[in-house]
Structure 1
Amino acid sequence: MITFINRFEVTGPRDEFEEAFDRTSAFFASQPGFIRHRLLHHINDPDLYVNVADWTDEESFRRALGQPEFAAHRAALRALGSSDPNLYTPMLERVAR
């Protein structure tokens, strides 16, 4: 499993960003290898969001990014702000008992 973390700084209308992200989320959810994601909103800075997405493997993630349909999603999000995307490998997870 890999985890994709993308920090967004929204410079356009936040409601438009959230709508564009929702459409992008639906696109990714239909792709092979997608497991789940969460969109987090910063408590003190309303312009900051973080997307945390889990994928079965990097190949599936890269394949989804390479789909021609993704270009429109990428353009819509980039028009509304900047992002800092990175891939991570989970190292430790602990849950409450």
Structure 2
Amino acid sequence: MITLINRFEVTGSVEEFEHAFDGTSAFFAAQPGFVRHRLLRHLDRPGHYVNVADWEDTRSFQQALRQPEFAAHRAVLRALSHSDPELYTAHLERVPS
């Protein structure tokens, strides 16, 4: 499994960003290899978000990005925000026993 961590700083309307991100989330949720995601909103800095998305593998994630339908989602989010996407793999995980 891989994890996308994408930090967003909204430069446009927060409401428009959240609406656009909801559409993008629905698009990704329908793609093969998608596992789950969470959009986190910063408590003290309005307009700052983090997307944490899990995918089965890098190939699945990259195929989703190449879908022609994704271009419109990307354009809207880029018009409303700056982002910093990075891919990670789990190194250490602990859960309560």
Q: Same fold (TM over 0.5)?
A: yes
Secondary structure at the aligned position of 1:72 is classed as: helix
1:16: Cα distance to partner? 0.4
1:31: Cα distance to partner? 0.2
User: Which residue number in structure 2 is paired with residue 38 of structure 1?
Assistant: 38
Give the RMSD, CA atoms, in angstroms.
0.6
1:96: Cα distance to partner? 1.9
1:80 aligns with 2:80: yes
- TM-score scaled by length of structure 1: 0.98
Give the aligned length: 97
1:92: Cα distance to partner? 1.2
The runs of 5 or more residues in structure 1 that have no matched partner are: none
1:62 aligns with 2:23: no
Secondary structure at the aligned position of 2:92 is classed as: coil
The runs of 5 or more residues in structure 2 that have no matched partner are: none
Secondary structure at the aligned position of 2:3 is classed as: strand
Give the fraction of aligned pairs with identical amino acids, expressed as a percent: 71
1:30: Cα distance to partner? 0.2
User: Which residue number in structure 2 is paired with residue 10 of structure 1?
Assistant: 10
